Chain A
Amino acid sequence: MRRQGLLLLAAWLGSFWLFAQQSGWKHALSYVASKNQTPIFERNTLWELVWQHLNLCLFSMLLVMIIGLPLALFVTRSYGKPFLGLVSNTVNIGQIFPPTAVLFLFLPIFGFGPTAAIIALFIYGLLPTVRGGLLGLSTIPEDQSNAALGCGMNAWQILWRLEFPQALPSILAGLRTSLILIIATATVAPLVGTGGLGVPIIAGLSTNNVALVLEGALPVALIAVLADMTVRWLEQVLVRWA
Chain B
Amino acid sequence: MIKLEHVVKAYGEQEVLKDISFEIAKGELVVLIGPSGCGKSTLLRLINRMIELSGGRILIKDRDTRTLDPVSLRLGIGYVIQSIGLFSHMTIFENVEVVPSLLQQNKKLRRERARELLDMMGLEPAQYGQRYPKELSGGQQQRVGIARAIAADPEIMLMDEPFSAVDPITREQLQDHFLGLKTQIDKTIVFVTHDVDEAVKLGDRICILNQGLVQQIDSPKALLHKPANDFVASFLGEDRELKRLSRIPVTDVMRSGAHPEARTIEKHKSAKDALNRLLAGENSLNVIDDQNSIIGTVNLQDLQG
Contacts and interface: CB of A to CB of B under 8 A. Distances in A.
Interface residues of A, number: 22
Given A157-B102, A241-B132, A150 B88 contact: no
A162 B101 CA distance: 14
Contacts of B108: none
A85 interface: no
B85 A144 contact: yes
B87 A150 contact: no
A151 interface: yes
A150 B81 contact: yes
Contacts of A194: none
A153 B102 contact: yes
B87 A148 contact: yes
A166 B89 CA distance: 7
Contacts of A241: 88-91, 132, 134
B72 interface: yes
Contact of A152 (B86, B87, B91, B99): B99
A42 interface: no
A62 interface: no
Interface residues of B, number: 27
Nearest to B160: A150
Contacts of B79: 147, 150-151
Contacts of A154: 71
Nearest to A164: B89
Contacts, number: 66
Contacts of A168: 89
Nearest to B133: A241
Nearest to A141: B88
Nearest to A148: B87
Contact of A143 (B48, B83, B89, B132): B83
B205 interface: no
Contacts of B72: 152
Interface in B12-45: none
Interface string B151-191: 00000000000000000000000000000000000000000
A225 interface: no
Contacts of B132: 240-241
B277 interface: no
B71 A150 contact: no
B84 interface: yes
Interface in B55-85: 71-77, 79, 81, 83-85
Contacts of B81: 143, 146-147, 150
Interface string A139-180: 001011011111111100100011001101000000000000
Nearest to A154: B71
Given A152-B99, A152-B102, A147 B71 contact: no
Contact of A166 (B48, B88, B149): B88
Contacts of A150: 48, 50, 74, 79, 81
Contacts of B76: 152
Contacts of B84: 143, 147
B148 interface: yes
A147 B102 CA distance: 14
Given A153-B102, A241-B132, A144 B88 contact: yes
Nearest to B87: A144
Contact of B89 (A152, A157, A165): A165
Nearest to A166: B89
Contact of A151 (B83, B89, B90, B102): B102
A25 B76 CA distance: 69
Contacts of B48: 150
Contacts of A146: 50, 81, 83, 85
B98 interface: yes
Contact of A149 (B50, B77, B88, B90): B50
A165 to B, nearest CB: 4
A151 B148 contact: yes
Contacts of A147: 79, 81, 84-87
B179 to A, nearest CB: 24
Contact of B98 (A143, A149, A151, A165): A151
Interface of A: 141, 143-144, 146-154, 157, 161-162, 165-166, 168, 239-242
Q: Which 3 A-B pairs have the closest CB atoms?
A: A147-B85, A152-B75, A143-B85
18 contacts: A144-B86, A144-B88, A147-B81, A147-B85, A149-B74, A151-B102, A151-B149, A152-B71, A152-B73, A152-B75, A152-B99, A154-B71, A157-B102, A161-B98, A166-B89, A241-B89, A241-B90, A241-B132
